[in-house]
């Protein structure tokens, strides 16, 4: 398993004057020393709508860093609707092409399609039609993912954030309905816990899975929860049953990511090893 950390960097490109890109190597060095195998950025980091020259500054700043941004999340902003009465498929696909190309240039191998602002079913809109729109969008997105060489991971969320895809089981059905090799599935332990979804569903998801997220209870850094510990072993054990051994990213709140990164990564690696016992 490769272990990574989601870095809420915002759009560095949009903040070049206020937050020099020269700070990136230090952060990447810190996370590498802590044991991270990669980092996960938000797609906004590459500013898909921004000038190419500004993106090149970001690309050059990342080039000497010891970690690559192998994964990206928060794919599509709410202004680009993919369900509801105001979908402009041509415009959203143009945005996706720019975003995927820039993510790939930074080392991206998977982009997470959560994006509740873009996909959430508008009030009064037919839910079945919204699901059909989502499937159509993913089928149109697939050739871009093939061309650029990057996977799309559909992320089930929870009902406090979304009303379209709320379980790994539903995500499995959608991946099968879409039927495109590059359109796959993410499992997020936090959302599964919020929805009380059994961990055993992961074993059934099998090869559909191409990325995972996790956090401790309260959506905090693993090992820093105020009460108890999330069921990391159950999560990992069922990923092993699924034959999954790709990436898992911490995505949550951290008081001091630079200080907490090593203990949280050490804990996750220990739990991954423990999950193999009696497997």
Report the CATH number that the domain containing residue 77 is assigned in CATH.
Answer: 3.20.20.150
> What is the mean pLDDT of the segment spanning 43-64?
93
Domain for residue 258, yes or no?
yes
**Confidence label for 27 from pLDDT (cuts 50, 70 and 90):** confident
Share of the chain above pLDDT 90, in %: 89
Instruction: Judge whether residue 10 has pLDDT over 70.
Output: no
pLDDT given for residue 21 in this prediction: 77
* pTM of the model as a whole: 0.95
The SS3 assignment for 83 reads coil
Alpha-carbon gap, residue 3 to 202, rounded angstroms: 18
| Stretch (H or E) spanning 169 | helix 168-178
* DSSP conformational letter for 23: G
Instruction: Judge whether residue 9 has pLDDT over 70.
Output: no
Domain for residue 117, yes or no?
yes
Q: How many domains does the chain have?
A: 1
| Stretch (H or E) spanning 72 | strand 69-73
Domain for residue 65, yes or no?
yes
> What is the mean pLDDT of the segment spanning 14-21?
49
> What is the mean pLDDT of the segment spanning 166-175?
98
Domain for residue 161, yes or no?
yes
pLDDT per position as a tens digit, 185-219: 999 999 999 999 999 999 999 999 999 999 999 99
Residue of 57 and 193 predicted with greater confidence:
193
Domain for residue 238, yes or no?
yes
The domain in which residue 109 lies consists of 2-274
**Confidence label for 15 from pLDDT (cuts 50, 70 and 90):** very low
> What is the mean pLDDT of the segment spanning 32-43?
97
Residue carrying structure tokens 């999560």? 235
**How high does pLDDT run on average in the chain?**
94
**Confidence label for 23 from pLDDT (cuts 50, 70 and 90):** confident
For residue 150, give every residue at least 6 positions away whose Cβ sits within 8 Å of its Cβ, in sequence order, or none: 100, 103, 104, 108, 109, 110, 111, 182
Domain for residue 279, yes or no?
no
pLDDT per position as a tens digit, 246-255: 999 999 998 8
Domain for residue 187, yes or no?
yes
> What is the mean pLDDT of the segment spanning 180-189?
98
Domain for residue 76, yes or no?
yes
Alpha-carbon gap, residue 47 to 221, rounded angstroms: 27
Are 236 and 192 a contacting pair, CB within 8 Å? no
**Confidence label for 183 from pLDDT (cuts 50, 70 and 90):** very high
């Amino acid at each position: 398993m490769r272990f990574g950390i989601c870095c809420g960097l915002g759009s560095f490109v949009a903040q070049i004057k206020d937050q020099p890109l020269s700070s990136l190597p230090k952060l990447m060095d810190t996370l590498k020393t802590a044991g991270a195998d990669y980092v996960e950025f938000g797609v906004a980091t590459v500013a898909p709508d921004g000038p190419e020259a500004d993106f090149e500054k970001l690309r050059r700043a990342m080039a000497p860093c010891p970690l690559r941004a192998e994964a990206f999340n928060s794919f599509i902003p709410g202004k680009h609707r993919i369900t509801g009465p105001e979908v402009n498929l041509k415009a959203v696909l143009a945005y996706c092409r720019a975003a995927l190309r820039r993510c790939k240039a930074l080392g991206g191998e998977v982009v997470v399609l959560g994006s509740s602002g873009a996909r959430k079913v508008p009030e009064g809109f037919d839910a079945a039609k919204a699901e059909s729109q989502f499937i159509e969008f993913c089928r149109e997105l697939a050739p871009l993912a093939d061309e650029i060489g990057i996977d799309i991971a559909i992320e089930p969320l929870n009902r406090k954030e979304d009303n379209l895809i709320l379980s790994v089981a539903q995500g499995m059905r959608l991946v099968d309905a879409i039927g495109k090799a590059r359109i796959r599935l993410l499992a997020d332990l936090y959302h599964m816990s919020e929805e009380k979804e059994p961990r055993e569903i992961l074993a059934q998801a099998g090869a559909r899975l191409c990325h995972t997220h996790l956090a401790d209870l309260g959506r905090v850094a693993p090992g820093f929860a105020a009460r108890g510990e999330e069921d990391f072993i159950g999560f990992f054990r069922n990923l092993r049953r699924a034959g999954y051994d790709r990436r898992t990213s911490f995505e949550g709140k951290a008081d001091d990511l630079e200080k907490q990164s090593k203990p949280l990564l050490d804990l996750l690696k220990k739990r991954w090893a423990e999950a193999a016992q009696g497997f």
